[in-house]
């Protein structure tokens, strides 16, 4: 396999009620990525696209094909990847492998979503389709519901009193908003307090409104190319040093490991081993904080804290810039927003900018960051991890 | 290869308050709800067994924001129950004052009943789910 680099990257503003279509959002992000790579549409040999609920949100399936045509990548192979909230990361991992193998030299990968068009009620229904429809949905499962159960299980298993855990969870959301306020692409650009989180209405116990990421519209895209091409086109290629992916069954069937997500531990080990790195080598991380408790569980699964102690990272400020492991300096899913088909590409966009040192103007630069980790969760346990690195 | 225990058979039994599972002839692990293979060792020599339907609550959530079409059910309580035979199943909890749903639920012994979700336009029909209630009186 040969080395593969991220060249240009594009990102729309994440928002509620975007006036644009899913294809328009992804087309804008894609053209920005192509131009920043000093390429033209005709140079793209294949497209790898994340999109989850285009059919429900605007009656549009097969967005990848219309995207290709819209941006002038006429007749290139365009494939869609569906891994619920991890769809774009899944697309990027596959795009990476096709370039690493030598089959393609230059490809486009990204994702798009327009979830707010569904409204909360239908969106809650359709997001629940990524749990088990036959054996779990009949009991009224929702996505927040799964993480509400994980929070209670976490409290019981690790003997962290629920009141203390709730405060730790609140700090996850508070930090996300602290950094998200400085991210021009973020959906919410205002700070919140622990008191506000703990006063929010109950969505599904113990998760209150501000423990939950929003429904969002938006798109992000990146161009991937082989090392030799990348070096000719851009000043600072960001290499994909390791990738991992694992699947899992319905949440009840994962009972031997919960609240640990075993698929995450398997996936991130693949990525660490491939890169020849470990948790201590990661300078900055974007992880899947769809719910505050999910951020804590993810930090532990990725190796940044002992099991049952993830919340202490946020308590001690270790997750901030200057801390042991800066996490979600973009604002994370909570503040930046979570257009599910686009989220993984947005995470890669953020890490690429961190590693290129381009976030000083926004006041969110992790100084000297050379290695970044992406973690994305889809459904009950589809996990994809990517390790990015600059020389 | 045919399923030893498919959804329809499982669902029809649950509607009669019978919880069916699979016992692995190789590793003795119980799989419930059913799958094609043993959830521990992936073996296919499985035997259909009727589970006791008894177990303890391992975790729960009380849901206030329901999916489309199910708003009238909220608030409702979802539980993951560890069956006496080992596996965890998802269901709802009844017979409890909504104001008394707290961490004390974890570890409480429950027994199985059922309730049918009539289905919606996306669900390809109805499906029963376990409806748990406390095994002994006086713990409400």
Q: Which of A124, A138, A252 sits opposite B68 (nearest CB)?
A: A124
Which residues, listed in sequence order, are joined to residue A47 by a DSSP beta bridge? A78, A108
Single out the residue of A187, A127, A65 nearest to residue A341, CA to CA. A127
Chain A nearest-CA distance from B135, in A, is 20
Q: Which tokens is A120 given?
A: 């909360």
Single out the residue of A276, A315, A275, A127 nearest to residue A204, CA to CA. A127
DSSP characters for B11-48? Answer: HHHHTTT--EEEEETTT--EESS--SS-TTT----EEE
Which residue is associated with the tokens 């798109």? Answer: A219
Catalytic residue among A85, A212, A213, A290: A85
What is the strand order of the sheet A238-246 is part of?
A: A78-81, A47-50, A106-114, A217-226, A4-11, A238-246, A382-389, A371-378, A284-286
Catalytic residue among A11, A177, A288, A338: A338
pLDDT at A140 over 50: yes
Tell me what pLDDT residue B137 has. 62
pLDDT in tens, A29-77: 999 999 999 999 999 999 999 999 999 999 999 999 999 999 999 999 9
- A362 three-class SS: coil
Annotated active-site residue A338? The verdict is: yes
Query: What ipTM, to 2 d.p.?
Result: 0.97
In chain B, residues with a C-beta closer than 8 Å to the C-beta of A135 are 7, 33, 89-90
Q: How confident is the model over A344-355, as a mean pLDDT?
A: 98
By the CB < 8 Å criterion, does A163 face chain B?
Answer: no
> Which residues have C-beta within 8 Å of that of residue B28, sequence separation ≥ 6?
none
d(CA B33, CA B11): 10
Tell me what pLDDT residue B140 has. 46
Chain A nearest-CA distance from B6, in A, is 11
Locate the chain A residue with the closest alpha carbon to B75: A204
d(CA B76, CA B86): 25
pLDDT in tens, A169-186: 999 999 999 999 999 999
- Domains belonging to chain A, first-starting first, are 4-120+214-389 (3.40.47.10)
Annotated active-site residue A213? The verdict is: no
* DSSP 8-state secondary structure symbol assigned to residue A209: G
Q: Which residues of B touch A (CB under 8 A)?
A: 7, 11, 33, 35, 39, 58-71, 73, 76, 78, 80, 82, 87-92, 101, 103, 106, 116-117, 120, 122-123, 127-130
A134/B101 CB distance under 8 A: no
Which residue is associated with the tokens 């089959």? Answer: A103
**CB atoms inside a 10 Å sphere around CB A243:** 23
Backbone CA torsion sign across A192, A193, A197, A199: negative
């Amino acid at each position: 396999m040969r080395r593969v680099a991220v060249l240009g990257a594009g990102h729309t503003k994440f928002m509620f009620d975007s006036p644009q279509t899913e294809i328009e959002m992804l087309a804008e992000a894609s053209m920005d990525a192509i131009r920043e790579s000093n390429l033209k549409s005709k140079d793209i040999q294949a497209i790898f696209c994340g999109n989850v609920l285009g059919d429900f949100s605007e009656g549009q399936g097969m967005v990848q094909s219309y995207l290709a045509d819209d941006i002038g990548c006429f007749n290139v192979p365009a494939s869609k990847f569906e891994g619920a909230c991890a769809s774009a990361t899944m697309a990027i991992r596959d795009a990476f492998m096709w370039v690493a193998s030598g089959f393609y030299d230059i490809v486009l990968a990204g994702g798009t979503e327009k979830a707010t068009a569904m409204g909360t009620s239908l969106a809650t229904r359709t997001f629940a389709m990524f749990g088990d429809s036959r054996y779990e949905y009949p009991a009224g499962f929702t996505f927040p519901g799964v993480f509400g159960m994980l929070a209670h299980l976490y409290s019981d298993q690790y003997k962290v009193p629920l009141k203390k855990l709730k405060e730790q969870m609140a700090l996850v959301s508070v930090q996300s908003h602290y950094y998200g306020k400085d991210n021009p692409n973020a959906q919410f650009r205002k700070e919140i307090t622990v008191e506000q989180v703990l006063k929010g209405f109950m969505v599904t116990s113990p998760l209150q409104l501000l423990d939950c990421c929003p429904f969002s519209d938006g798109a992000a895209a990146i161009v991937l190319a082989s090392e030799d091409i990348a070096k000719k086109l851009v000043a600072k290629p960001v290499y994909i040093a390791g990738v991992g992916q694992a699947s899992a069954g319905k949440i009840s069937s994962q009972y031997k490991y919960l609240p640990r997500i075993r698929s995450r531990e398997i996936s991130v080990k693949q990525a660490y081993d491939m890169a020849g790195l470990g948790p201590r080598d990661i300078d900055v991380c974007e992880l899947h904080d769809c719910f505050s408790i999910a951020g804590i569980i993810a930090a532990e699964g990725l190796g940044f804290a002992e099991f049952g102690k993830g919340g202490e990272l946020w308590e001690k400020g270790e997750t901030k810039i200057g801390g042991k492991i800066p996490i979600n300096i973009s604002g994370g899913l909570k503040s930046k927003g979570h257009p599910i088909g686009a989220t993984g590409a947005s995470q890669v966009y953020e890490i690429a900018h961190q590693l290129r040192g381009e976030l000083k103007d926004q006041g969110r630069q992790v100084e000297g960051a050379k290695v970044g980790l992406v973690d994305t969760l889809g459904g009950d346990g589809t996990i994809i991890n990517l390790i990015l690195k600059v020389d | 290869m045919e399923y030893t225990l498919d959804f329809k058979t499982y669902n029809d039994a649950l509607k009669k308050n019978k919880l069916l599972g699979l016992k692995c002839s190789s590793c003795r692990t119980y799989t419930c709800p059913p799958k094609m293979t043993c959830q521990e060792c992936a073996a296919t020599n499985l035997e259909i067994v009727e589970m006791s339907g008894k177990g303890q609550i391992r975790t729960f959530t009380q849901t206030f924001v329901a999916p489309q079409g199910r708003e009238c059910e909220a608030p409702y309580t979802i539980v993951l129950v560890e069956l006496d035979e080992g596996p965890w199943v998802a269901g709802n909890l009844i017979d409890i004052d909504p104001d008394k749903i707290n961490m004390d639920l974890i570890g409480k012994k429950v027994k199985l009943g059922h309730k049918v979700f009539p289905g919606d336009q996306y669900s390809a029909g109805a499906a029963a789910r376990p409806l748990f209630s406390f095994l002994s009186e006086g713990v409400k």
